[in-house]
């Protein structure tokens, strides 16, 4: 496929294997599923590609099938504020899709990623007709609220080990990101982008967390060994400073 085509021009229907990775399809009625499958599209976003851009009108409700995205916005001072990472299994932007408002954030691929999109008109049709879909979206909104409250707390943490631990805990949320499982496929540089620390500080924090038996750094990713410790900040002598 020519490299200069836009994301919209590169989209295609999903394969059966890709459809099986979408968690909400199993929760809706057969006729609703058939309508959704017909409308769904997927695209391979390359590192640096913007899936969503501030000020652009909403066209799709998006989900990450593989790879890693970053949700962020730029401050008036020109600084980038990262809200969250978006690992496999995560569907995002439901609030924007419900209100049909322009995006207030950028979503950028940190690595080559497969991103699925449900057209916003089909999204609203499912909201109007599917109880199962409504329950899924409401659960998403509830979990997302908790996620952003946690993200606000992380901004006030000065200890790098705790900052990395709590940031990792968000990415291992089994409700929002069921495709992650026990291993997050990421690099230390990608974590640095998401956490807001230098790569060296992230490396040091990961080494400390591994020494405490909370995680294990593996080739190409991080395996969580004690998710509750990551969430609560119960990391040996380290204490939460908020």
70, 127, 204 from 47: Cα distances, Å: 11, 32, 25
Q: What are the pLDDT digits (tens) for 190-238?
A: 999 888 888 999 999 999 999 999 999 998 899 999 988 888 765 654 4
> How far apart, in whole angstroms, are the C-alpha atoms of residue 136 and residue 163?
29
Contacts of 95 (CB under 8 A, 6+ apart): 141, 144
- Give the chain's mean pLDDT: 88
What pLDDT score was predicted for residue 143?
87
What pLDDT score was predicted for residue 167?
86
Considering only residues 71 and 1, tell me which one the structure prediction assigns the higher pLDDT: 71
21, 203, 212 from 91: Cα distances, Å: 12, 29, 32
Q: Which fold has domain 7-151?
A: Jelly Rolls (2.60.120)
Q: What are the pLDDT digits (tens) for 84-96?
A: 889 999 999 999 9
CA dihedral (45, 34, 138, 123) positive or negative: positive
What pLDDT score was predicted for residue 151?
62
Domain with CATH 1.10.10.10 in the chain: 158-232
Q: Which of 21, 28, 232, 215 is nearest to 128 (CA)?
A: 28
127, 136, 184 from 27: Cα distances, Å: 13, 8, 25
| % helix, strand, coil for the chain, step of 5 | 40, 25, 35
Asked if the 158-232 domain carries CATH number 3.40.50.150, the reply is no
What pLDDT score was predicted for residue 240?
36
CA dihedral (94, 145, 7, 45) positive or negative: negative
Q: What are the pLDDT digits (tens) for 72-86?
A: 887 777 777 788 889
Q: What are the pLDDT digits (tens) for 126-165?
A: 999 999 999 999 999 988 877 766 666 655 566 788 888 8
Q: What are the pLDDT digits (tens) for 197-206?
A: 889 999 999 9
What pLDDT score was predicted for residue 239?
41
What pLDDT score was predicted for residue 1?
55
């Amino acid at each position: 496929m020519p490299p200069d085509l836009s994301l919209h021009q590169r989209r295609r229907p999903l394969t059966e294997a890709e459809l099986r990775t979408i968690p909400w399809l199993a929760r809706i009625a057969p006729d609703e599923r058939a309508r959704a499958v017909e409308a769904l599209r997927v695209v391979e976003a390359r590192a640096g590609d913007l899936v969503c851009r501030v000020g652009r009108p909403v066209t799709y409700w998006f989900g990450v099938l593989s790879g890693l995205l970053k949700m962020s916005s730029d401050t008036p001072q020109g600084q980038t504020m990262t809200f969250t990472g978006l690992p496999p299994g995560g569907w995002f932007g439901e609030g924007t899709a419900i209100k049909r408002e322009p995006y207030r954030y950028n979503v950028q691929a940190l690595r080559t990623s497969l991103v699925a999109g449900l057209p916003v008109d089909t999204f609203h049709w499912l909201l109007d007709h599917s109880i199962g879909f409504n329950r899924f979206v409401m659960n998403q909104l509830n979990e997302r609220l908790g996620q952003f409250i946690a993200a606000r707390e992380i901004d006030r943490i000065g200890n790098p080990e705790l900052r990395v631990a709590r940031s990792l805990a968000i990415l291992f949320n089994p409700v929002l990101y069921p495709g992650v499982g026990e291993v997050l496929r990421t690099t230390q540089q990608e974590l640095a982008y998401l956490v807001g620390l230098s790569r060296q500080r992230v490396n040091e924090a990961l080494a400390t967390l591994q020494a405490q038996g909370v995680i294990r750094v593996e080739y190409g990713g991080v395996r969580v060994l004690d998710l509750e410790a990551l969430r609560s900040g119960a990391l040996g002598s380290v204490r939460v400073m908020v």
